[in-house]
Structure 1
Amino acid sequence: MKLTSEFFGRKYHLSYDVINCIDDFKDNYDLAKEAILISLRRHGATSVKSPCESTIIFVYPNGKFDIEMLEQELKPHFFFSLCLVDKNQESNHLEKIHYNYDLNKSLQEMWENVKSKISQKN
């Protein structure tokens, strides 16, 4: 079952590689992923999924997502590809995903932890 935000929102596909994990994230890949999640939360993403390592699919609630601002935040630390997932005439996203469910479960836990970190800063 789709979340309301997923049905009405705009879905994006982000694939990334860390430029220098040792220097920027203390050689901790999870810290790098957390940095991306923090940026996505700050920009208003409402949900995330991770079908495979180095890929995050996220939903933004409307068409006002500032892709340029996110690019500026990610560019110093990541190589990436960020694309809008198109919809067909029935408003279904055109995508096929074969999930690593354990990886996605870990991402959901990290996503919830990031929410509390963002709330504490405000």
Structure 2
Amino acid sequence: MDDPVTFARKLRREQTAPERRFWVILQPWRDAGLHWRRQAPLGPYIVDFVCKPAKLIVEIDGDTHYSEDGMIRDTERTAFLESRRFRVLRFTNAEVMDNAEGVFGVLSGILGEPGSKSTPS
């Protein structure tokens, strides 16, 4: 396997449709100055999206995450990330593609409305 930085760059170039859609959903917070990174190495993992100022990681999960092995790996991964004081939020591919308003609503509940004083900076 490539080193984590090279592998993260490859993942950024080859984003899935749900990952691209989620990046668009994040746009209002990004425009308000909240810094997000895509496919970012964190410890032994590469997380889909991270907002370090808000200590929030968002994972966009496809079908492989719902197998027995996938759920075990995700549990270990989440435990590691939470031990670093991050909150880990997961959306399915279908949620991102078919319910962008709902995803936006969940993010608003955590981050505050884009550009509001409650938005972490």
Interval containing the TM-score (normalised by the shorter chain): 0.3 to 0.5
TM-score between the two structures when normalised by the length of structure 1: 0.34
TM-score between the two structures when normalised by the length of structure 2: 0.34
